[in-house]
Structure 1
Amino acid sequence: MKLAFAALSDVGRIRKDNQDSGYAGPWLIAICDGVGGAARGDIASATAIGQIKRLDIRPPEGTSEDDLMSLVANALHRAHDRIGELVEVDPNLNGTSTTATIGLFDGSRFAIGHVGDSRAYLLRGGLLHQLSKDHTFVQSLVDDGRITEEEARVHPHKNLILNALDGVRDLDPDLSVMDLEIGDRLLFCSDGVNGFLTDPRIADILGTSTPSYATVELLRASLEAGSTDNVTCLVADVVEDDAPAPTMPMTVGAAAEMRRKPSLTSKFRGHRMGDTGELEPIDSEIPEGAVDSDPAEREQARYALLAPTRQTWVRRVLALLLIVGLFWTAVAGAYSWTQTRYFVKGGGDGYVTIYRGINANVLGLQLYDAYETSTLKVSDLSSTGQATVDKGVDKGSLTNAETWVHQLASQFGAAQ
């Protein structure tokens, strides 16, 4: 057996930054939710995913359950140690940490490693099973019978996490192994989902259509339910080994953002925030001795070229720097705007792909890059669908683009 997967992440309606990171591949599903605020939880989650995703290789045949759990535990410890190294290099990151819930599939068994309050679920036969247990203060109150599950959702300390990857404290992840069956569906999500959707609601959405559709609907439902956090969903179906399934891994959230090119604003931060300097005023007086006292000659000399002074080159350099600074400011503004736009087009690998940016090239510079690759092949579309995708369609927001891809599959996928 193998996994047919989809992943989706959104910053949400309240947060300024996405501190969630997710990874879905043929053998590995992983979700991390950064903690730390000013201490950059996005860096923690992205760093953890960068280490954990190396585990996305099918374990050798004959690997024991203990060895499977060791592979998962070692990946978590590598991520934990790497975050500690970053904090040592940059003290400003002190206090950062991330949750981590990961699952490694070997074709029949699924090994799970978990720290924090991100969650793993299994939908089997229409019934939803929670595979992970929150490492939070409110969960300890629930376990002690002091509050109910419903009360935990609105508890003022519901986000107090007792176990996370931070590179400082001793790491003690929950580890387990279970057998999977054809037809099982897995959900790994951040608390922006389960903190606002009840289990019955999650099960209802999770039981519909394809993994890609389920991720879109879970995200949409979480936002409509009033989610105040980042929202990240990873859904994977257990399918036959020869069944059609995506093979290209998907990275979403902060881990995907970190792969972007550095912002152009960094190239002129000193110019924007520092003193630009003012050009010295040009002296309108005629230098002594330039002309005699004849008024006609004096007027002619006023508009004649004068010999350059020693400061002329400085003025020219300052003027040039000012022009360059203004140019880069305009370029950075335009670039930042393009990063809020998304369009759908056929990718080079033959799959319908969501791109971030604008569908254009300027002076040979590509103004977009691939953001998400769907499981929908361009060749599977009708001629109308193929023509539409080949041209590229601007959808504005990421949510609109993902919704349109789903609609495209429903509208054109069957007709030829």
Structure 2
Amino acid sequence: MYLHYSAISDVGRVRRENQDSGYAGPWLLTVCDGVGGAVRGDLASSTAVQALRKLDQQPDEDVVGQVAGAIHRADDRIAELVEEDPDLNGTSTTATVALFDGTRFAVGHIGDSRAYLLRRGQLRQLTHDHTFVQSLIDEGRITEEQSRTHPHRNLILKALDGVRHEEPDLFEFPAEPGDRVLVCSDGACGTLTDDRIAALLADGTPDFAAVELVRASLEAGSTDNVTCVVGEVSEEPPGDELVPLLVGAAADLPRRAPLGGGVAGAVGGLFRGHRSGDTGEIPPVPGDAPAGAFAADPIDHETARYAPRPPRRYAALRRVLAAAVVLGLAWVVLAAGWSWSQQQFYVAEQDGKVAIFRGVDASLPGISLSHPYELTDVDLDRLSDIDAEAVREGLEAGSLDEARATVDNYAARQDVG
């Protein structure tokens, strides 16, 4: 079987730049949605797609293994970018990959982009979102409908960032003639219902379906970039004019082979059979989002999507303050211990005499925990061997008065001796 395909990406009506990247080819459908705002989510997504597009050749038997390896290589490439430029720390991207081998699809997924399968009129979501709201849905705390307007609906828990090296979800499924596979960014699936996606995905050619999915997402109020990649399984080979396609931040190839060697032929042949020939892309505009489900939400979702962040300001100062707090607590503990020790007394030998010591009858390497407090005139030589040995070993006293009473007792024995 063969794969007929189409792809389109639109910056949307609010964003100033497109951080989505997509690719469609004879063997591969993939979408990466960059995260990171000021730290170049567009660079992360385009870097990942450029690595993943190397899968677009006839796979070997281990289709799932090839997908896993490509995703890990994309993550490694992002790690190299961050190592080369520390200012990129915090950038990341989702990745959803569908690799076709003529009889089956292998899918790799991380993040909140999605893959769907439309088979005999029935739509099935193939991937599982790695998002905070999806975890709430899984726990039964909110519904799918409530998740569309949840204030943290854009917070993702896993992505390719070159740091955490998260493991993607991996699986495969058999293909059938007539199957349609949609891989899209959350700008589409976060706005359109499953019923709406199914209706649009089933309509017309893959070109027509991709355009209508993007258009419908924007008309429904999506404030994000929107990318849709559509593949249709067919027993008929595609025409020679169908060539691989990069879209969004990674775009650098024409959709159709130029007619007569000119670029105009490629542009003019862009979505054949569609009623208007393009997406009706609206230039990005500043200001508030259009009226709709997201308009009342003041959160800038692009700056609140994924846990890794740009390096925080004053990080060195924070470390110094933290160390100062730890040292301060340690000093308080030591001071309290020293104060307690100076309220303790015991009797022991000092220069052949019985003496009263203040502190604890112990020591640490290089540190004495006691010192002579009162030196008496009681000579150890005038005490019995048993009493002298007891004094040399040290005699604890509950207080200074108790220590003095012990000394008086030995003084009396000395006199008797």
TM range (shorter): 0.5 to 0.7
Distance 1:160 1:244, change over 3 A: same
1:11 match: 11
Tell me, in whole angstroms, the C-alpha distance in 2 between the residues paired with 1:29 and 1:58.
13
Q: Determine if contact 2:178/2:233 at 8 Å carries over to the other structure.
A: yes
Given the alignment of the two structures, is residue 399 of structure 1 paired with residue 394 of structure 2, yes or no? no
Distance 1:128 1:57, change over 3 A: same
Q: Determine if contact 2:207/2:272 at 8 Å carries over to the other structure.
A: no
2:150 match: 155
Deviation at 1:243, TM superposition (A): 5.0
Deviation at 1:400, TM superposition (A): 4.3
Q: Determine if contact 1:21/1:45 at 8 Å carries over to the other structure.
A: yes
Tell me, in whole angstroms, the C-alpha distance in 2 between the residues paired with 1:13 and 1:350.
27
Counterpart of 2:248, as a letter, is G
- CA RMSD of superposed structures (Å): 2.5
Deviation at 1:352, TM superposition (A): 4.4
Secondary structure of the structure 2 residue equivalent to 1:255: coil
Q: Which protein has the larger Cα radius of gyration, Structure 1 or Structure 2? A: 2
1:106 match: 101
Q: 5+ unaligned residues in a row in structure 1: which ranges?
A: 261-344, 356-372, 378-394, 402-416
Distance 1:213 1:75, change over 3 A: same
1:388 match: none
Deviation at 1:348, TM superposition (A): 2.5
2:131 match: 136
Given the alignment of the two structures, is residue 224 of structure 1 paired with residue 219 of structure 2, yes or no? yes
Distance 1:349 1:184, change over 3 A: farther
Given the alignment of the two structures, is residue 32 of structure 1 paired with residue 32 of structure 2, yes or no? yes
Q: Determine if contact 2:94/2:113 at 8 Å carries over to the other structure.
A: yes
Given the alignment of the two structures, is residue 249 of structure 1 paired with residue 244 of structure 2, yes or no? yes
Counterpart of 2:6, as a letter, is A
Deviation at 1:137, TM superposition (A): 0.6
1:268 match: none
Counterpart of 1:17, as a letter, is E
Deviation at 1:375, TM superposition (A): 7.0
Deviation at 1:398, TM superposition (A): 5.5
TM value normalised by structure 2: 0.63
Q: Determine if contact 1:4/1:245 at 8 Å carries over to the other structure.
A: no
Given the alignment of the two structures, is residue 193 of structure 1 paired with residue 106 of structure 2, yes or no? no
Q: 5+ unaligned residues in a row in structure 2: which ranges?
A: 282-417
Tell me, in whole angstroms, the C-alpha distance in 2 between the residues paired with 1:120 and 1:185.
10
1:21 match: 21
Tell me, in whole angstroms, the C-alpha distance in 2 between the residues paired with 1:350 and 1:158.
41
CA displacement 1:241-271 (0-9 Å, x = unmatched): 53547541000000016x89xxxxxxxxxxx
Task: Provide the aligned length of Structure 1 versus Structure 2.
Answer: 277
Counterpart of 1:4, as a letter, is H
Secondary structure of the structure 1 residue equivalent to 2:134: helix
TM value normalised by structure 1: 0.63
Secondary structure of the structure 1 residue equivalent to 2:167: coil
Tell me, in whole angstroms, the C-alpha distance in 1 between the residues paired with 2:82 and 2:231.
34
Q: Determine if contact 1:29/1:188 at 8 Å carries over to the other structure.
A: yes
CA displacement 1:175-202 (0-9 Å, x = unmatched): 0010010000110100000111100011
Secondary structure of the structure 2 residue equivalent to 1:42: helix
Tell me, in whole angstroms, the C-alpha distance in 1 between the residues paired with 2:279 and 2:43.
24
2:346 match: none
2:266 match: 353
Distance 1:38 1:107, change over 3 A: same
Deviation at 1:91, TM superposition (A): 1.1
Secondary structure of the structure 2 residue equivalent to 1:256: coil
Distance 1:98 1:350, change over 3 A: closer
Counterpart of 1:26, as a letter, is P
